[in-house]
Structure 1
Amino acid sequence: MAWKTLDDMDLDGKVVLTRVDINVPVENGQVTDDTRIQRILPTIRDILEAGGMPVLLAHFGRPKGQRVPEMSLSVVRPALEAALGSPVKFAEDCIGGPAKKAVAGLEKGDVLLLENTRFHEGETTNDGSFAASLAALGNVYCNDAFSAAHRAHASTEALAHLLPACAGRLMQAELTALETALGDPERPLVAVVGGAKISTKLDLLGNLVEKVDHLVIGGGMANTFLAAQDIDVGKSLAEHDMADTAREVLDKADEKGCKIVLPSDVVVAREFAAGAEHQVVAADACPPDAMILDAGPETVERITDIFERAKTLIWNGPLGAFEIEPFGAATNAAAKKAAQLSAEGKLISVAGGGDTVAALNKADAAKDFTYISTAGGAFLEWMEGKDLPGVIALSD
């Protein structure tokens, strides 16, 4: 798939409508995590350096087409100004008089933030007239919100058809990383998929077994696969009603030549609590009154050995209940190995998903991964092999 970048556009003197994701957490009127703001800075700065005037389009929360004061993007403006190190102008609407007046007053060097696009129902319904009202404000459209690209909304899809369009730096980095990982990867290609339920990741597993050489399955999902093979998992979290589906995935993997890696040993405990008494047992020896909460050391050794021989790694989901010690040991050890190999230039590693990023940060491994996606649903849908409306709209 081909798409244009900022380097392909003439931005000098142009108003660049720039779709960003700054849907950041806020408490007591203060932004508590500015990661998403930091990730859009290269795009804003490159537009400014090229002589363009970035006008930021974004959503905040789910106001459902209503003007909800506590969901105003004005709350994000101070954090955006602090990150940029310069003032940011603000318009109290994203279309109409306030927006037109603010855009008309722009000079080179200015950055303008428009009010929450979701204050208008036409945003989420991908309404053509609403998109046209947005398009009337600018000369160029730049989408830098990969995390919203799986939604066919006016500011992510329809607008791209109305103006010369390109990907911003964050979007460009996301697409390049994912294309490297799944489009034309260096092999062997390994995927780690963890999490609680197989039912939420059926499409993901179905797509991956056709594309990867090894599929490592962890978390509660692994328990379901063990149970599907008539292994007693005690009181472990498992979807016993998904046994047939799990077996279908195993059969498909065998047919496609994908080797599925399930725990051969596990960490079990009688209670799910920090510091709970626990023990390592074979995967088929979970006591009836215990629950599997992590993969064991033998399994970790198998996983890291696979990493050693791999060229590309995709990671989504933890291997165990990493939030509570000591049940994050497997995730920590595997993540540290992947990070080490990546830092040494031996492995291309791409990871994404909320729990995944949290787990890798906890293991102090995220900084050495080749790429960490800040997208949630969009990252997952890309891995599932689905077309993303916001990406398709940018294609040449």
Structure 2
Amino acid sequence: TGLKVALADRAPVAVPDAEAASWDARVYAVSPGSAAFLRSLGAWQGLPADRIASIESMRVVGDAGGTLNFSAWDLGERALAWIVEERALKAALVPLVHASGVAAIAPCTFADLTFTADAGRLALADGTVVTARLIVGADGLRSWVRHAAGIHAAPKPYGQTAVVANFSCVRAHYGRAHQWFLDDGGILAWLPLPGRRISIVWSAPDALADELLALDPVSLSERVAVAGGNALGAFECLTAPAAFPLQFLRLPSMIAHRLALVGDAAHGVHPLAGQGVNLGFGDAEALFTVLRARGPVSDAGAALLLERYARHRALPVRAMQTVTDSLARLFGTSAPWIRSARNLGMAAVNRLPLAKHLLAQSALR
């Protein structure tokens, strides 16, 4: 983009060991669109092939027997998504940060953020002051940058906690992901890892999540296997479970004066579609595209450029938020007639190739 860039982070900007013997409990389902963006940066090529698994098909089961089946082959894609560890993604991206001349200021403690007519001013606890035409907040759902900029945010809890862990399984998964909408309103996803391993995301009611986290590894393995109908045989826990509360966040705008928000700092979605990270990559790609094509506008924080970015992301973000939030709330309702209707709807969509194709395509971008 021809811009001078600084990265301020509260955590060290260090390269993790992507080839560690253990597996990272935090994984992402990277869509074909996001993979293409990472490839354009040179990051995708840096991911170790033996740490990535492709989702070649997916089976979604409702709480009363409704089913949806998706296939990469039917969509003309190599994969519906790729499952990548967070650690491996960081290991591929951090060297690019250093190689591109980005000034990494980390670890550091943020102290204050102020704005003038022509710049943003980030003050650090050690007295360092970073001044920039544009501040980009990419610091998560509880964004310090967003709060310091005076942007009001009111995340709405789903009353669920995502429990994540990795397991080995007796039977091969053949690149198939599974997702169950459960009777208690929870959602369980099994995602393929290399070999006979899977990663799970169990979006469980808070009380159940506490119960799952308190289980010993053997009991947790049995509980997860049984919840999925023992489809892959017996499980063995590979990582201790981790958990994070699920919240919905929608802001009036992703931009403010000399400020652009990206990723979870800009929006929060339910993980049932695995699209949180892809929305974030979409934000980053859109902002990069706008800044690279700024033409005669030399000021990276000009309102005109920020408005272009916001317009570019408004529809895809709102659409994904609406779909995931509606599904989470629909399957969280226990009324019998709603339960029957939603499962009949799943079965109907499964029999309509065009409708199913459009639904799948929205997640591939």
Instruction: Output the TM-score relative to the length of structure 2.
Output: 0.27
> Relative contact order (alpha carbons < 8 A, sep ≥ 6): 1 or 2 greater?
2
Quick check: which one's strand share is greater?
Answer: 2
The structure number with the bigger radius of gyration is 1
Quick check: which one's helix share is greater?
Answer: 1
